[in-house]
Amino acid sequence: MTNPNNVVMTTGEEAMTKKENSDNENDEIDFKSTSLNVPDFKVKVISEFKHQENTKSLSVAGKEDAWIVHDYNYIELISKSGNEKKRAKLGFNVHSVGISKSGNLILGSYGKIYRLINEKLEELANVGTYIVHGICNVEDNEDILVCLWAYDMGKVVRLSVNGEFKQTIEYDDNGYRLFISPQYITCTPLECDIWVTDNKTEQKSVTVTTNAGKLKFKYKGPNFGLSKQFSPRDLVATSQGHVLIADYFNQTIHVVSTDGHFLKFLLTTDQGLQQPCVMSKISADTYWITSENDHQNYQTHLIVQCAA
């Protein structure tokens, strides 16, 4: 058996009861408001490249590169132009990747969360029988938020920089499960609200809680403009006070206000978007977006500037 503490790093050149999920009508958003300040984004595709390997998770490292999880047993550092810079072979399956504020790589696996420092793995936390999905930083300190899933039971936990469990978000005030299968997560910079994609529920949604874990609302997409059921994947909080949500089957990105109102669609197939699945923020107005194509054996990576 491969020792998970041994990382082989190469350069690119070398290469339902009350515990069931809640669907409270009172928590849904009215999308008929006409007094919303809709941003006029100017969208520019800066870079585009094709990649034949399936991207499971992505986290931007600096302004030029990103760490990408492929088929679970290795991760890769690639540039915005698609060039491989490093590849790390691991002794376990990786489901998600993140980067802490101190610059350390955080890896989520089955039952474990690891931290990669100087090409050596350290176990950061043991999460039992849960699979680690989304990972994100908290805006006001060095904590990280992590999505955990096991057998239609999901929760979000907050960990300190040393792996201490500080908070668990699992149920609403009525004892209903907030999540079934939390997959992706982001934290808004001003309100510090927590937005979580839950794509395994019958009615796909994004669950939004306060920083303290209190349910605020569930975003289920607008009641217009979609040809297929809302199918949220990754999501990113912008510096301008919005949240971008990848809608896989509708082949677009939703721009949503922090109080849950749909504002506009940002990208479509006209800009090269196919079925968006993974996103990460590079800078205040630039994003790395990965989309799949059912009819091709590659994924498209877009580096997109969205200036308001």
Collapse the DSSP code of 270 into the 3-class scheme (helix H, G, I; strand E, B; otherwise coil) and give the result: helix
Q: Tell me the pLDDT band of 41, cut-offs 50, 70 and 90.
A: confident
pLDDT, average across residues 244-261? 94
| Cα–Cα nearest to 238, from 277, 283, 206, 272 | 283
In angstroms, what CA-CA distances link 226 with 223, 250, 275? 8, 6, 14
Is residue 30 over pLDDT 50?
A: no
pLDDT, average across residues 245-257? 95
Q: Tell me the pLDDT band of 281, cut-offs 50, 70 and 90.
A: very high
pLDDT recorded at residue 153 = 87
Q: How far apart are CA 247 and CA 121, in angstroms?
A: 34
- Using an 8 Å Cβ cutoff, are 110 and 126 in contact? no
Q: Among 35-49, 64-78, 271-285, 292-306, which range has the highest average pLDDT?
A: 271-285
pLDDT, average across residues 107-111? 94
Please give the angle made by the CA atoms of 215, 275 and 179, to the nearest 5 degrees.
20
- Using an 8 Å Cβ cutoff, are 208 and 216 in contact? yes
Exposed e or buried b per residue across 21-36, where buried means at least 16 C-beta atoms within 10 angstroms of its C-beta: bbeeeebebebeeeee
Q: Could you report the per-residue pLDDT of 185-243, keeping only the tens digit for each?
A: 999 988 899 999 987 767 689 999 999 999 999 999 998 989 999 999 999 999 888 99
**CATH code for the structural domain at 55-265:** 2.120.10.30
3-state secondary structure 82-94: CCEEEEEECCCCC
DSSP result, 123-144: EEEEEEEEEEEEEEE-TTSS-E
Is residue 283 over pLDDT 70?
A: yes
Q: How many CA atoms lie within 13 A of 139 on its CB side?
A: 15
- Using an 8 Å Cβ cutoff, are 218 and 182 in contact? no
Q: How far apart are CA 55 and CA 78, in angstroms?
A: 12
Tell me the residue ranges of DSSP E strands in 8-109.
8-11, 42-51, 57-61, 65-69, 74-79, 84-89, 96-99, 105-108
pLDDT recorded at residue 120 = 86
Number of Cβ within a 10 Å radius of residue 117: 13
Query: Please, is 56 exposed, middle or buried when counting C-beta atoms within 10 Å of its C-beta (0-12, 13-18, 19+)?
Result: buried
CA gyration radius for the chain?
19
Q: Tell me the pLDDT band of 99, cut-offs 50, 70 and 90.
A: very high
